[in-house]
Structure 1
Amino acid sequence: MWLKSRVLLLLLCATCHTAVSFTNGLLPNGNFEYGPKPWEMKGTKVMASRAIPKWEISGYVEYIKSGQKQGDMLLIVPEGAYAVRLGNEASIKQKVKVVKGMYYSITFSAARTCAQEETLNVSVAPNSEANDWGMLPMQTMYSSNGWDSYAWGFQADDKEIAISIHNPGVAEDPACGPLIDSVALKALYPPRRTRANLLKNGNFEEGPYVFPTASWGVLIPPNIEDDHSPLPGWMIESLKAVKYIDSDHFAVPEGKRGVELVAGKESALSQVVFTIPNRVYVLSFSVGDANNSCEGSMVVEAFAGLDTVKVPYESKGKGGFKRAKLRFKAISKRTRVMFLSTYYTMKNDNSGSLCGPVLDDVKLLSVRKARV
């Protein structure tokens, strides 16, 4: 009996770091609540590459407890009691079993510590001949508590992938890297155009995983193309991110999800749609505020073909929306529909956090099908 138990224990230990089958939500130990043994650490630094259960690490990685102090800085963790900090050229990696050819989105939370000019490299391997990867800038923080959640999309080129988050930073102090917490994965089902809407995912219901306990939304990073976008159908053609929000934490005009244009004209959302030249179309959409203390005069600009419309919205920061329309004539077989916010807006909670108007329920129809 003792021998059988011993063999079973050895088998379990041997599979501790093999790939796990994926279901939507946090990766195994995705919030880092299970940490290294005391003898696998030196202070806060993790000394063994597989000391954090389910993860493989490289470089200068620290295991941080919420409330820990670094000089005059108090380190806060958004979920649970623990997070990891990535020093210069440090990374964390986990293997996951997925469906080959399926689209997925990674969502994770991150915060700067003492270094300001931060970027993170998110990658998936194997992916064809080279890793599928993206650089996510962290210079601008959008939430009031110092933590932001980011989303990044990819298509799985194999049945088993390795998800990696890497800090390519070169800060003088390796302990100044970003904190990482709550890493999740979600399968995406690219929506199709219908007779009721020529745009894909016009209500934004298909998108990245949103943490149930996170009240700050999920950032869709800049320069995201539509092939592997974590917001299927849409591209972020701008220098700054847009924020994906949910009705559990924000006011959303329609359904469960919407988009907040948080960085003025640097935060542009677009989609290319098939049109018939010289035919007239109507683009309709909702503009509102997210009930997140974002007050003041807002304007959403919509563009299609050679036409544009500016939609003003006076926000009291307590929710609400109005409908707007743009009537235009198509000039080619492909028309780019784009939205942006005219002004920069900040929350009135003294945090200095960027915010902006909410966009939702976007529809495009030819004039013979639309009610005008």
Structure 2
Amino acid sequence: MIPPCSGLLGNGDFEHKPKPADMKGTQVLGQHAIPGWEISGFVEYIESGHKQGDMLLVVPEGAYAVRLGNEASIKQAIKVAKGMYYSITFSAARTCAQEETLNVTVAPDSGVLPMQTMYSSNGWDSYAWAFKAPSDLVELIIHNPGVEEDPACGPLIDSVAIKALYPPRLTNKNLLKNGDVEEGPYVFPNAPWGVLIPPNIEDDHCPLPGWIVESLKAVKYIDAAHYTVPQGQRAVELVAGRESVISQVVRTVPGKVYVLSFAVGDANNTCAGSMVVEAFAGRDTLKVPYDSQGKGGFKRAVLKFTATATRTHVMFFSTFYHTRSDDMSSLCGPVIDDLRLVSVRSPRRLRL
């Protein structure tokens, strides 16, 4: 199956069912029983509303999803362009253990995505993971490395999509790459919960080109269709306080004056309270307070600094942790967007 440069993989939503002869209860028996996919190990085909004991299993989108038991995996061959960067977006829900993880692989790239932190109260999150295509045909593998007592225990997987990433180039108007964060992973059009971008320790190629998620927790990529964003169609929500960081290393000239400007706001997702975004540029810092009503809005901030090295580390994070006021459990935080870094000829000519 050849996917477009942006969209679901073949049967990426798992709505095309296995034949009844390939099923034993919820267990899928045939290696190729799920159209478009190859499976290995104990894989279940779960219908929305299915109960496991007293627990209702949640299907993120549509009517069906798959569940990966211990050491189970799903695999699909994808035609891509050699040397190009791509991101995979998929939704996942934890069903059993606190320490559930998923191993995502497009050889030689591989990453383990931890699922012990659920960022939303819906029971699932969408994740992005990126890779560089080593050839024109690659195999995507999503694997559950779990070793639970119940071999069927494992995460639900739904809605697997791909998107080609085009690394942005520097311009004389912005020394930051992808400063408007418009280039990023696929966002499901009917999923109003955003996409988590994992820390760089889990992914060698960030799904947010130009940036590094330099933290222990993910940041959330949000869209204007479901949230309020300061500019354009995309923004970044810092959902885990000081553990949710994006950064970039920029070429600078020692002794030259630069201006770092950016927008700070809230996503109109009932994330209310006193927020603070901390911005760092080399040795200089700026704390930007923002009093959020949780109904959308933003303010602009400016940090002027003199470069002390040929490379300057620019970094942003939220000082505090926040949860949405409508459920008191979904992690949320300030939104940042329209991040710009420019040099100025003389401090006297700088207008803030």
TM-score normalized with structure 2 length: 0.97
Choose which of 114, 122, 146 in structure 2 pairs with 1:145.
122
Choose which of 20, 29, 36 in structure 2 pairs with 1:47.
29
Match of 1:37 in 2: 19
Cα deviation for residue 353 of structure 1 reads 1.1
- Return the alpha-carbon distance in structure 2 between the equivalents of residues 23 and 218 of structure 1: 18
TM-score normalized with structure 1 length: 0.92
Match of 2:331 in 1: 354
- Return the alpha-carbon distance in structure 2 between the equivalents of residues 163 and 351 of structure 1: 36
Match of 1:65 in 2: 47
The answer (yes or no) to whether the contact 2:113–2:202 under 8 Å persists in 1 is no
- Return the alpha-carbon distance in structure 1 between the equivalents of residues 331 and 295 of structure 2: 16
DSSP 3-state at the match of 1:308? strand
Q: Does 2:266 align with 1:289?
A: yes
Larger Rg over CA atoms = 1
- Return the alpha-carbon distance in structure 2 between the equivalents of residues 75 and 155 of structure 1: 34
The answer (yes or no) to whether the contact 2:129–2:203 under 8 Å persists in 1 is no
DSSP 3-state at the match of 2:152? helix
Choose which of 158, 162, 169 in structure 1 pairs with 2:139.
162
> C-alpha offsets along residues 276-296 of structure 1, whole Å, 9 cap, x if unaligned?
011111100000000001010
Q: Give the residue type in structure 2 aligned to 1:34.
A: H
Match of 2:8 in 1: 26
Q: Give the residue type in structure 1 aligned to 2:313.
A: R
Match of 1:300 in 2: 277
DSSP 3-state at the match of 1:176? coil
Q: How many residues align?
A: 349
- Return the alpha-carbon distance in structure 1 between the equivalents of residues 55 and 307 of structure 2: 55
The answer (yes or no) to whether the contact 2:200–2:206 under 8 Å persists in 1 is no
The answer (yes or no) to whether the contact 1:226–1:232 under 8 Å persists in 2 is no
Q: Give the residue type in structure 2 aligned to 1:61.
A: V
Structure 2: runs of 5 or more not aligned: none
The answer (yes or no) to whether the contact 1:225–1:236 under 8 Å persists in 2 is no
> C-alpha offsets along residues 323-362 of structure 1, whole Å, 9 cap, x if unaligned?
0011111111000100000000011122411100000000
Choose which of 110, 116, 120 in structure 1 pairs with 2:102.
120
The answer (yes or no) to whether the contact 2:130–2:203 under 8 Å persists in 1 is no
Cα deviation for residue 140 of structure 1 reads 0.5
- Return the alpha-carbon distance in structure 1 between the equivalents of residues 19 and 315 of structure 2: 51
- Return the alpha-carbon distance in structure 2 between the equivalents of residues 58 and 20 of structure 1: 22
Q: Does 2:318 align with 1:341?
A: yes
The answer (yes or no) to whether the contact 1:22–1:97 under 8 Å persists in 2 is no
Match of 1:172 in 2: 149
**Structure-2 change in CA distance of 1:21 and 1:220 (3 Å):** closer
Correspondences of 1:163-312 after superposition (within 5 Å)? 163-223=140-200, 228-312=205-289
Choose which of 60, 72, 83 in structure 1 pairs with 2:65.
83
The answer (yes or no) to whether the contact 1:265–1:341 under 8 Å persists in 2 is yes
> C-alpha offsets along residues 119-175 of structure 1, whole Å, 9 cap, x if unaligned?
1100003xxxxx210111111011121110000111101000001100011111122
Does 216-225 or 179-188 show the bigger shift? 216-225
DSSP 3-state at the match of 1:174? coil
Match of 2:77 in 1: 95
Q: Give the residue type in structure 2 aligned to 1:220.
A: I
The answer (yes or no) to whether the contact 1:282–1:366 under 8 Å persists in 2 is yes
DSSP 3-state at the match of 2:305? strand
Q: Give the residue type in structure 1 aligned to 2:105.
A: S
- Return the alpha-carbon distance in structure 2 between the equivalents of residues 62 and 177 of structure 1: 10
- Return the alpha-carbon distance in structure 2 between the equivalents of residues 180 and 197 of structure 1: 39
Q: CA RMSD in A?
A: 1.3
- Return the alpha-carbon distance in structure 1 between the equivalents of residues 201 and 298 of structure 2: 27
Cα deviation for residue 199 of structure 1 reads 0.3
DSSP 3-state at the match of 1:20? coil
Does 167-176 or 186-195 show the bigger shift? 167-176
Match of 1:3 in 2: none
**Structure-2 change in CA distance of 1:236 and 1:58 (3 Å):** same
Choose which of 109, 122, 125 in structure 2 pairs with 1:132.
109
The answer (yes or no) to whether the contact 1:224–1:235 under 8 Å persists in 2 is no
Match of 1:327 in 2: 304
Does 224-233 or 58-67 show the bigger shift? 224-233
The answer (yes or no) to whether the contact 2:110–2:203 under 8 Å persists in 1 is no
Cα deviation for residue 308 of structure 1 reads 0.2
DSSP 3-state at the match of 2:130? strand
Q: Give the residue type in structure 2 aligned to 1:267.
A: S
Q: Using the aligned pairs only, state the percent identity.
A: 73
The answer (yes or no) to whether the contact 2:3–2:10 under 8 Å persists in 1 is no
DSSP 3-state at the match of 1:265? helix
Cα deviation for residue 114 of structure 1 reads 1.8
Q: Does 2:82 align with 1:105?
A: no
**Structure-2 change in CA distance of 1:109 and 1:226 (3 Å):** closer
